[in-house]
């Protein structure tokens, strides 16, 4: 899935679109995507100038965007401007290694459970096969006015 397809599925735009490509997709099961981390990222100017590190909250957001792609693609739905995916919970988030310019962040998300409109995913982001962050993410889709 290339960037044009991703843009049709996610409402996020620069500088907050954090998925560049989908590498693997298994409907209703899992997704594998990537985020190319470059020195041009706006957050590196202040986090941290002497040792640029991708903020952990943005790594979690990148995993959530991959999870949202999994859900939208599984439903074969192109959300309109009135549909968003909201976080409703993050459990067990663990940060294992820093991510910086030049890294390629691989985002893995798998549907763990769907109940009452709440999706729970097991998610992991890695660089060169090493886990950078892992967490259970809970999200829901809502129509907004």
Q: How far apart are the C-alpha atoms of 38 and 59, rounded to whole Å?
A: 14
Is residue 71 helix, strand or coil? helix
Selected catalytic residue, list 12, 21, 30, 47: 47
Please indicate whether residue 47 is annotated as part of the active site. Answer: yes
From the number of C-beta atoms within 10 Å of its C-beta (0-12, 13-18, 19+), residue 66 rates as buried
Is residue 76 helix, strand or coil? coil
Which residue, among 96, 128, 100, has the nearest Cα to 41 in the 3D structure?
100
Which residue, among 114, 136, 132, has the nearest Cα to 123 in the 3D structure?
136
Active-site residues, by number, are: 47
């Amino acid at each position: 899935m290339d960037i044009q397809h991703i843009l049709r599925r996610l409402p996020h735009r620069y500088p907050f679109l954090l998925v560049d490509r989908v590498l693997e997709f298994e409907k209703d099961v899992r997704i594998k995507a990537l985020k190319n981390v470059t020195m041009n990222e706006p957050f590196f100017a202040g986090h941290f100038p002497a040792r640029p590190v991708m903020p952990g909250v943005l790594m979690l957001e990148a995993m959530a965007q991959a999870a949202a792609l999994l859900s939208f693609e599984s439903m074969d739905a192109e959300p309109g401007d009135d549909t968003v995916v909201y976080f409703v919970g993050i459990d067990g988030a663990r940060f294992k290694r820093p991510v910086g310019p030049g890294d390629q962040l691989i985002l893995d998300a798998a549907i763990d459970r769907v109940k009452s409109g709440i999706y729970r995913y097991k998610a992991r982001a890695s660089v060169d096969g090493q886990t950078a962050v892992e967490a259970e993410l809970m999200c829901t889709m809502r129509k907004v006015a």
